[in-house]
C-alpha cells in the first residue's frame, strides 16, 4: 500500500481532517471532495464497526476484505480502492461529497441530524436530499426511516394539521415550509403522505417567487396558466430550479383542475331562487381572487350573504366541500395513480332550501360525509 499523505504532498489539492469525525482510534479514513471547493479534500477517520452496523454494503465489503487479506490476495475488485494508508490507517476514496458524508455520520454516531428549535424548518428537506441519497446508496434503511419521520413530523398530512400549520405561519411568516425540495425528496423516497400539502402549497406560489432570491423578482403574469399568485408575499417562495418537468406538469394540471372542480360544486351548493341572494356570487368572487381555496372556504363571511335561508343551510356543506377538497388533492395533482377520478363533490352538498338533491349520492364515502345533512321535508 502507498502512503496517502506522501502522495498528496505534491498535489495542489488541500487535504484537511474533519474537526468532528476524526477519531484517534478510528480504523478507516474516508476521503471525500468538498461540494463547495473541488480542490478541497476532507478526511474522516471513523470506525469500520460503526459503518458495518448501519450499512450491509459496508459490512459485506469489510468481510470480503478481511478474507482477502487473510489469504494474502488483492484481486478483490470491490475493495481494491483501499490501497492507500493515512498514518497507518486504510484510506477509502469516495465519489460522494464531504458535506453529505458529514451529514450521514451524525446520526450514525448518535448526533442530532437537524438541530433546530423551530417547529417548521424550511431548509430541512434540502439538507436531507444528498444525505438520504447517500444512505440509500449504502443500504441504510433504518437511517432512511428515521430521516423520513423527521420530514413527516413537520409537514401537514391531514386537514387539521394543515389548519394548525397555517395558523402558526400567520404569526410566524418565516416558518413557511419550502415545497419543491420536499416534493423532490418525497418522490425519491416514497414519502407520499406529504405530497398533498406540498403540491397545494406550491400552487399558491408565483413562478417568480424564488426562495433563494427571497421573494418575487417581477410582477409579470403568465396569462395562459396564471402562474403568478394573486397575493404575492415574500414569505411564500419556492426553489423552482429543483422542480422536475414531470412534477411541473402535475402542478399545472392541479392549478387548472382544482378551481374548476370547486366552482362547479358551488353551483350546486347555492340554488336559491331569491333575487336578493348573494351567496353564490360572494363565494365565487372569493375563489377567483385567491388561490388558497382551503382558507377561503373557512373565512367566507356569512354576513355578506343577505339570504337568510342560505346562511342557515350553507355552513355544513362548506365544511364538507373543504374536507373533500383536501381529500381530492392526490387526484387533482395527479400523483396517486390508483385513483381514477376526482370525487363527485356535488353529491355531498345540500340545497340552500334544505331539499335533497335529486341526484343519488355516490356510494361509500359520500354517505359518510353527508350523514345528518340530508333530510326530507
Name the packing angle between helices 141-154 and 179-189 (round to 10°): 150
* Inside any domain, residue 103: no
Rounded-to-10 torsion of CA 65, 67, 73, 78: -30
Are both 90 and 209 inside the same structural domain? no
* Inside any domain, residue 375: no
* Inside any domain, residue 376: no
Residues contacting residue 2 through CB under 8 Å, at least 6 positions apart? 83, 84, 85
Task: Write the DSSP string, 241-273.
Answer: GG--HHHHHHHHHHHHHHHHHHHHHHHHH----
Contact present, 306 and 276 (Cβ < 8 Å): yes
Residues contacting residue 211 through CB under 8 Å, at least 6 positions apart? 122, 178, 180, 237, 238, 239, 240
Are both 223 and 126 inside the same structural domain? yes
Q: Which three cell numbers stand for residue 20?
A: 468532528
Taken in order 22, 25, 29, 30, the sign of the CA dihedral is negative
Residues contacting residue 256 through CB under 8 Å, at least 6 positions apart? 225
Counted residue by residue, the chain has a size of 377
Grid look-up 432512511 returns 144
* Inside any domain, residue 106: no
Are both 61 and 138 inside the same structural domain? no
Q: What is the pLDDT of residues 220-261, one digit of tens each?
A: 333 333 333 333 344 688 999 999 999 999 999 999 888 888
* Inside any domain, residue 107: no
Spatial strand order of the sheet with 40-46 comes to 2-3, 84-86, 89-97, 28-33, 40-46, 14-22
Mean pLDDT score of the chain: 76
Whether the model pTM is above 0.95? no
Are both 230 and 266 inside the same structural domain? no
Q: Exposed/middle/buried for 326, CB within 10 Å: 0-12, 13-18, 19+?
A: buried
Are both 301 and 336 inside the same structural domain? yes
Are both 57 and 151 inside the same structural domain? no
Domains held by the chain: number: 3
* Inside any domain, residue 203: yes
Kind of pairing between the strands at 40-46 and 215-216 = unpaired
Number of Cβ within 10 Å of residue 33's Cβ equals 19
Are both 264 and 352 inside the same structural domain? yes
Are both 216 and 277 inside the same structural domain? no
Contact present, 4 and 92 (Cβ < 8 Å): no
Number of Cβ within 10 Å of residue 327's Cβ equals 17
Are both 288 and 339 inside the same structural domain? yes
Question: Which of 42, 71, 96 is the C-terminal boundary of a domain?
Answer: 96
Short-list 376, 343, 357, 325, CA closest to 200 = 325
Are both 363 and 290 inside the same structural domain? yes
Phi, psi of 20 (to 5 degrees): -100, -50
* Inside any domain, residue 88: yes
Q: What is the pLDDT of residues 54-74, one digit of tens each?
A: 999 999 988 876 655 554 544
Whole-angstrom distance, CA of residue 109 vs CA of residue 321? 48
258: left (phi over 0), alpha (psi -120 to 50) or beta: alpha
Question: Which of 243, 265, 288 is the C-terminal boundary of a domain?
Answer: 243
Are both 212 and 123 inside the same structural domain? yes
| Residue span of the structural domain in which 362 resides | 257-370
Are both 117 and 232 inside the same structural domain? yes
Rounded-to-10 torsion of CA 317, 320, 321, 323: 160
Residues contacting residue 102 through CB under 8 Å, at least 6 positions apart? 18, 20, 21, 42, 44
The per-residue pLDDT for 375 is 38
Taken in order 216, 221, 224, 229, the sign of the CA dihedral is positive
Angle, CA 246 vertex, CA 244 and CA 250 arms, to 5°: 115
Question: Which of 243, 278, 312 is the C-terminal boundary of a domain?
Answer: 243
**pLDDT by residue for the chain (377 residues), tens digit each?**
666 666 666 665 688 999 999 999 999 999 999 988 878 999 999 999 999 999 999 999 888 766 555 545 444 444 445 578 998 899 999 999 999 999 999 999 988 776 566 789 999 999 999 999 999 999 999 999 999 999 999 999 999 999 999 999 989 888 899 999 999 999 999 999 999 999 999 999 988 888 877 643 333 333 333 333 333 344 688 999 999 999 999 999 999 888 888 877 776 766 666 666 666 777 777 677 667 888 877 766 555 555 666 666 667 777 888 888 999 999 999 876 533 333 444 444 444 343 333 233 333 333 333 333 333 33
Q: Which three cell numbers stand for residue 23?
A: 477519531
* Inside any domain, residue 105: no
Amino acid at each position: 500500500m502507498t502512503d496517502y499523505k506522501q502522495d498528496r504532498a505534491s498535489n495542489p489539492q488541500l487535504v484537511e481532517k474533519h474537526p468532528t469525525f476524526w477519531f484517534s482510534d478510528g480504523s478507516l479514513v474516508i476521503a471525500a471532495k468538498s461540494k463547495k471547493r473541488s480542490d478541497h479534500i476532507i478526511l474522516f477517520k471513523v470506525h469500520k464497526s460503526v459503518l458495518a452496523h448501519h450499512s450491509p454494503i459496508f459490512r459485506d465489503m469489510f468481510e470480503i476484505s478481511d478474507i482477502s487479506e487473510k489469504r494474502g490476495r488483492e484481486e478483490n475488485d470491490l475493495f481494491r480502492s483501499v490501497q492507500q494508508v493515512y498514518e497507518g490507517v486504510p484510506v477509502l476514496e469516495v465519489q460522494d461529497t464531504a458535506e453529505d458524508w458529514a451529514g450521514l455520520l451524525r446520526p450514525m454516531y448518535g448526533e442530532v441530524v437537524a438541530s433546530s428549535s423551530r417547529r417548521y424548518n424550511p431548509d430541512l428537506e434540502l439538507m436531507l436530499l444528498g444525505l438520504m441519497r447517500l444512505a440509500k446508496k449504502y443500504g441504510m434503511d433504518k437511517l432512511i426511516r428515521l430521516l423520513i419521520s423527521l420530514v413527516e413530523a413537520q409537514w401537514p398530512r391531514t386537514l387539521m394539521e394543515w389548519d394548525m400549520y397555517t395558523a402558526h405561519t400567520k404569526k410566524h411568516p418565516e416558518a413557511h415550509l419550502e415545497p419543491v425540495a420536499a416534493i423532490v425528496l418525497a418522490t425519491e423516497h416514497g414519502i407520499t403522505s406529504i405530497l398533498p400539502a406540498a403540491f397545494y402549497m406550491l400552487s399558491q406560489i408565483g413562478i417568480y417567487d424564488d426562495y433563494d432570491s427571497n421573494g418575487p423578482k417581477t410582477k409579470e403574469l403568465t396569462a395562459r396558466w396564471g402562474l403568478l399568485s394573486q397575493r404575492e408575499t415574500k414569505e411564500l417562495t419556492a426553489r423552482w430550479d429543483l422542480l422536475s418537468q414531470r412534477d411541473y406538469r402535475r402542478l399545472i394540471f392541479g392549478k387548472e383542475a382544482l378551481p374548476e372542480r370547486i366552482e362547479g360544486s358551488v353551483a350546486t351548493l347555492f340554488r336559491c331562487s331569491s333575487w336578493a341572494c348573494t351567496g353564490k356570487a360572494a363565494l365565487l368572487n372569493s375563489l377567483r381572487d385567491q388561490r388558497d381555496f382551503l382558507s377561503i372556504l373557512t373565512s367566507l363571511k356569512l354576513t355578506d350573504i343577505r339570504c337568510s335561508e342560505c346562511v342557515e343551510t350553507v355552513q355544513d356543506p362548506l365544511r364538507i366541500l373543504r374536507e373533500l377538497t383536501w381529500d381530492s388533492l392526490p387526484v387533482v395533482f395527479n400523483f396517486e395513480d390508483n385513483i381514477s377520478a376526482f370525487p363527485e363533490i356535488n353529491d355531498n352538498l345540500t340545497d340552500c332550501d334544505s331539499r335533497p338533491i335529486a341526484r343519488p349520492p355516490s356510494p361509500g364515502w359520500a354517505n359518510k360525509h353527508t350523514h345528518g345533512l340530508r333530510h326530507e321535508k
